[in-house]
Amino acid sequence: MKKVIFYLKLLVLLMCFFMIYNKLDANYYKYILILFLLPLPLFSKKVNIPYYIAFCITAITTAFFTFGLTYYTLIISIIFISMIPILFLFSSRKIIQYPNLKKRNNELKFYKEELINEEKSLSDKREALEKKLERITHFYIISKDLTKNMDVPEDLANALLNVLKTRTGVCYVVITTKNRTLFESKDNNKNLKILSRLNEEKKKIWFSLINNNEEIKSLKGPAIVKSLFNIENKPVIAWPMIIDKQLNSCTFLVVEPEYARIYVEEGEFFIPHLKLGTKRIMLFSELKEKARIDGLTGLYLKRFFLGKLYSEIERAKRYKTNFYLMMLDIDHFKKVNDTYGHLIGDEVLKTTAKTISSSVRRGDIIGRYGGEEFIVIVSSITQEKILKIAEKIRKTLKDINFNFDNKTFSVTISIGIAKYNKDTDIDNLIGNADKALYKAKNSGRDNIIFYEDENNITKKD
């Protein structure tokens, strides 16, 4: 096929030559045209000897028939024939110098293709990295906005829920947390509390599947949780928030199957930024907690308790309700410190605080009033029931044995109770409870005194 094309090209060129040649009248024009055949082979891609010989024969033959045996014919013959050995020389040198030229050419073509493929691969990687950077920047801005004005974990959870539930491919989001108070051990294995708004049936299903789930407990980072697939028959992506090597909270995203991998990757970008914000919120909450909580007993400090008491009085005035104020004091506590030391004294204080907390109802407000004194707000209760609570505290604490240096001892507590009514302000209410406590101390201790009015402060057995 290549030879056919070659001869066709040669034929076309020669036909063009003779067409032009026949149009010329003057011999010197024809002479120049014949000489023009000399450089034509040089325009080919490589040295082509047969190509040149064809032009050489054409030029000499045409010169002979045009000029005859003249000087012009001789010059043309010498010029064209002398070029043949020169062309052979250059052609043979290339063959000697580059015996594997075709092989090397193929190798270079292969390398060129490799470079083109590598360039495309690098271009694809660069595009992927640019998209990843864009997503990281986007999540950084979101996380920064989320945590900027958040003071409590619940606010952060609600804001995060609003951001994630509108994202493409997300069916719904379940945010959970482990709420630990300031004085709980970090190793305390609490259940995950669900913060998202779910119907009761779905909430029960989620609660039963995520708690005591070994797959969730072993999470080190964002992952697809296979054990939760049956909830919606769709992938569930977990974004665990691990702080100080403990699972602090976990966000679950129920997503369409084709988006599963995407949200695993996005979790890897998002969680580190969110973790910083969460730590800031936790630190802020801890500082607030320390400002209102007694470090030893875990009860409210006096100043914060008085704020709660004032709010309770305002509420009672508004809704025309009553409540009780209970003041408690450990009997002969100074003697405990002097005899057994302050470490044992602290243990007695902590045990007393726990006894009071476990005896009152959920929602009753307890504070450490100072030293060995405690104070409790008990609302929405009858006088009979408040006396039962006080008796339970007194009896439970009396039955507790403390050990020191192979010696066993127990402590007792005196309790004063005052009832709030519409004519009582905060100072009077505290004063009345204190008067009842003072009388309990002066009546042999280890008893309960109820304040009704100035002339009626009675002992309750």
Question: Catalytic residue positions?
Answer: 372
Sequence-distant (6+) residues with CB within 8 A of 20 are: 33
CB 438 within 8 A of CB 432: no
Round to whole Å and give the CA distance between 67 and 29: 12
Rounded-to-integer distance, Cα 93 and Cα 99, Å? 10
The whole-angstrom separation of Cα 6 and Cα 340 is 117
Question: In whole angstroms, what is the distance from residue 375 CA to residue 434 CA?
Answer: 10
Please provide the DSSP assignment of 123-138 as one string: HHHHHHHHHHHHHHHH
Q: What backbone torsions phi and psi does residue 427 show, to the nearest 5 degrees?
A: -65, -40
Q: N- to C-terminal Cα distance for the chain?
A: 124
CA-to-CA dists, residue 71 to 66, 75, 288, angstroms: 12, 6, 117
Q: What is the rounded distance in angstroms from the CA atom of residue 138 to the CA atom of residue 136?
A: 5
Give the DSSP letter string of 369-416.
EETTEEEEEEES--HHHHHHHHHHHHHHHHT--EEETTEEE---EEEE
Q: Is the dihedral of CA 288, 292, 298, 299 positive or negative?
A: negative
Question: How far apart are the C-alpha atoms of 361 and 393, rounded to whole Å?
Answer: 12
Instruction: List phi, psi (to 5°) of 418.
Output: -130, 145
Residue 34: C-alpha distances to residues 75, 78, 85, 139, 374 (Å): 11, 13, 20, 78, 126
Give dist(CA 228, CA 404) in Å, integer.
52
Burial group, residue 245, by CB count within 10 angstroms (0-12, 13-18, 19+): exposed
